[in-house]
């Protein structure tokens, strides 16, 4: 390659990259820097885009806002409700589908259906299902002799409802990923363990789980990140409010509320940064744990 | 004998799982054809007494549905086509054009895949307001017409095409661009369909972003319109779920017709849109 040619190549390369680079640069990379800056704007004229003052005021405001603390708490409860439940159920179903089953693809495709549906629209449907007097859920539970449960009205139940809906919605995606992981495990390992006289439970815990650990690890990270960002479900289930007595106030809802109802963009930015740092920290911790327990071939 | 019992239990669990998945969809469609009286009838009827599209007609009359639909289709189309165009061009540069700094650019862009889009909402709102694009349809598609995920996926496919083909075409005097359009794009059709479908599903269902960006009815997309209709409809769940069906059913059709591509895209990458 002579020099002229490499210059020409660089020009051609940049030309091809330009459209993607401009869009990603302006709307994905610059905003990352911008959101950190914004979180330190304490005096900001939104209409003229003039920043009068920088400081940590927004973060102090967050730390002293009982609503934000509640949003943190609620989101954590939600995440710890959804992620393990969805993972255990998904592993169970994926293992079932991976054994000798007919109509494997048929079942897999049905389970995956919720993933492609609009969250807002399907949450409306669940709102009707959860209806305490006329919902089919309570009607069905009535056959089991269970009294009417105030799913969406009672602060003690609202988070449970939200978790049920989210497990229902994320299950198919997790089943699909885990099933793909299971199908990639080499038959040889099972043959070997059979010869060694391992029973099916032992095979599952000693062979399947370790070999599936990279996939399990991947699913746990994506589920966690996804759950931390819950918003549309809350909005639709509780008719635009964050649940009875703020019992379903989540972090993204808090950010949304700060932006659209209170126009406090600095505080919203600070809350976004906090959310980002939490997600990043958990991902890091998972990687560290993963390093110890995840078996890559 | 024991094996037979186990097999029956296995299928029973799989069927129950399928039922639990499908019941909300079934209930949505069933309710959307009921009258208000049937909606609140106890015990609830499994199916409506008669199937007519009255509720759908009422919803279309009561809301600016045609505007919402137009906006949704427009935004989804532009986002999808835009993503395909920018990704094809960028993936070509990342897989075939060798130049200094290419890999650094790739790494920097790759880092955007780690960032949750919720983090970008506040700064992007301000960026777009500086560009005077608040409450415009442009704001709904412009930030999303490129995706590093799509570039990344496509680059993998492009790298799978033998380089010799490229050099042979060059010797024959075929231009880069012509080679890209005539050879690489046709060879990676399945990947392009996958990217397109994921983008369609994603932007058709997108809610938080248009909810924040748009304030007047003439700029609303279908999901945003549904959120406003929720207040209007109140306890009229037959109307509300007719509206929900209008959003959900088209995507289910696309999914059932082309699930092979969607499933492929998800399993290959595991990352969303």
Arithmetic mean of pLDDT over chain A = 89
- Please check the confidence at residue B269 and state whether its pLDDT lies above 80: no
Q: Residue A225 pLDDT more than 80?
A: yes
Q: Per-residue pLDDT tens for B158-209?
A: 998 998 988 899 899 898 899 999 999 999 998 899 899 999 999 999 999 9
Q: Measured between beta carbons, which residues in chain B are less than 8 angstroms from residue A255?
A: 118, 121-122
Model pLDDT for residues A122-165, shown as the tens digit of each residue: 999 999 999 988 899 999 999 998 888 999 999 999 999 999 99
CA distance, residue B89 to nearest chain A CA (Å): 5
Q: Torsions phi, psi of A54, nearest 5?
A: -110, 155
HSE-up (13 A, CA, CB side) for residue A146: 11
- Answer whether B42 sits within 8 Å of A134, measured CB to CB: yes
The span from the CA of B31 to the CA of B151, in Å, is 42
- Rounded Cα distance, B37 and A1, in Å: 79
Q: How many angstroms separate the first and last alpha carbons of chain B?
A: 48
Q: Which of B6, B12, B31, B99 to mutate to test the interface with A (most CBs of A within 10 A)?
A: B99
The mean pLDDT value for A1-20 works out to 82
pLDDT of residue A47: 63
CB B49 within 8 A of CB B256: no
Q: How much is the average pLDDT of A167-179?
A: 94
Which domains are assigned to chain A? 3-54 (no CATH), 64-293 (1.10.3720.10)
Interface test with B, best of A5, A34, A35, A118 (most B CBs within 10 A): A118
pLDDT reading at B50 higher than 90: no
Q: Of B255, B231, B56, which is closest to residue A172 (Cα–Cα)?
A: B255
Tokens representing B51?
A: 């199937």
Could you give the CA distance from residue B251 to residue B89 in angstroms, rounded to a whole number? 28
What pTM was estimated for this model as a whole? 0.91
Q: How many CB pairs under 8 A join A and B?
A: 265
Torsion of Cα atoms, B70 then B76 then B78 then B82, to 10°: 180
Q: Sketch out chain B's domains with CATH numbers.
A: 1-51 (no CATH), 65-269 (1.10.3720.10)
Kindly identify which residue of chain A lies nearest to residue B37, measuring between CA atoms: A134
Residue in A closest to B243 by C-alpha: A121
Whether the CB-CB separation of B241 and A124 falls below 8 Å is answered with yes
| Highest mean pLDDT of the ranges A195-199, A239-243, B145-149, B241-245 | B241-245
Distance between CA atoms of residues A180 and A212, nearest Å: 10
């Amino acid at each position: 390659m002579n020099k002229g040619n490499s210059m020409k190549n660089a020009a051609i390369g940049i030309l091809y990259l330009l459209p993607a680079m401009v869009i990603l640069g302006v709307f994905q990379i610059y905003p990352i820097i911008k959101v950190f800056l914004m979180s330190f704007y304490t005096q900001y004229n939104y209409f003229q885009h003039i920043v009068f003052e920088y400081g940590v005021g927004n973060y102090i405001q967050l730390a002293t806002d009982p609503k934000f603390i509640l949003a943190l708490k609620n989101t954590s409860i939600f995440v710890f409700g959804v992620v393990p439940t969805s993972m255990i159920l998904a592993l169970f179903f994926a293992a079932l589908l991976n054994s000798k089953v007919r109509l494997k693809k048929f079942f897999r495709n049905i389970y995956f259906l919720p993933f492609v549906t609009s969250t807002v629209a399907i949450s409306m449907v669940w709102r009707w299902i959860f209806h305490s007097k006329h919902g089919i859920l309570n009607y069905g539970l009535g056959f089991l002799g269970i009294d009417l449960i105030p799913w969406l009205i009672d602060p003690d139940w609202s988070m449970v409802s939200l978790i049920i809906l989210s497990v229902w919605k994320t299950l198919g995606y997790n089943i699909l990923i885990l099933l793909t992981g299971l199908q990639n495990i080499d038959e040889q390992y099972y043959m070997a363990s059979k010869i060694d006289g391992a029973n099916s439970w032992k095979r599952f815990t000693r062979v399947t789980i370790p070999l599936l650990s990279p996939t399990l690890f991947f699913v746990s990270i994506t589920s966690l990140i996804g759950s931390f960002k819950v918003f549309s479900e809350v909005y639709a289930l509780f008719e635009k409010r964050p649940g009875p007595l703020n019992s379903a106030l989540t972090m993204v809802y808090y950010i949304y509320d700060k932006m659209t109802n209170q126009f406090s963009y600095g505080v919203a930015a600070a809350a976004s940064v906090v959310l980002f740092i939490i997600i990043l920290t958990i991902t890091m911790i998972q990687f560290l744990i993963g390093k110890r327990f995840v078996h890559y071939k | 004998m024991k094996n037979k019992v186990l097999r029956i239990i296995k299928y029973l669990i799989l069927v129950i799982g399928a039922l639990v998945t499908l019941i909300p969809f079934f209930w949505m469609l069933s309710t959307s054809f009921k009258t208000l009286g049937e909606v609140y009838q106890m015990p609830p009827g499994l199916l409506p007494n008669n199937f007519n599209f009255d509720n759908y007609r009422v919803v279309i009359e009561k809301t600016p549905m045609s505007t919402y639909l137009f906006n949704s289709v427009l935004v989804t189309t532009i986002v999808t086509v835009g993503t395909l165009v920018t990704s094809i061009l960028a993936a070509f540069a990342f897989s075939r054009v060798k130049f200094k700094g290419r890999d650094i650019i790739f790494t920097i862009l790759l880092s955007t895949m780690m960032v949750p889009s919720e983090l970008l909402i506040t700064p992007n709102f301000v960026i777009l307001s500086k560009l005077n694009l608040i409450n415009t349809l442009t704001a709904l598609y412009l930030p999303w017409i490129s995706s590093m995920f799509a570039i990344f996926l496509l680059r993998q496919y492009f790298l799978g095409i033998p380089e010799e083909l490229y050099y042979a075409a060059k010797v024959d005097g075929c231009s880069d661009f012509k080679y890209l359009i005539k050879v690489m794009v046709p060879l990676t059709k399945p990947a392009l369909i996958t990217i397109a479908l994921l983008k369609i599903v994603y932007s058709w269902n997108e809610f938080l972003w248009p909810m924040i960006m748009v304030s007047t009815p003439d700029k609303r997309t279908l999901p945003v319109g549904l959120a406003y209709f929720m207040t209007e409809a109140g306890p009229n769940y037959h109307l509300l779920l007719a509206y929900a069906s209008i959003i959900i059913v088209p995507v289910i059709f696309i999914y059932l017709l082309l699930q092979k591509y969607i499933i492929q895209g998800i399993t290959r990458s595991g990352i969303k849109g």
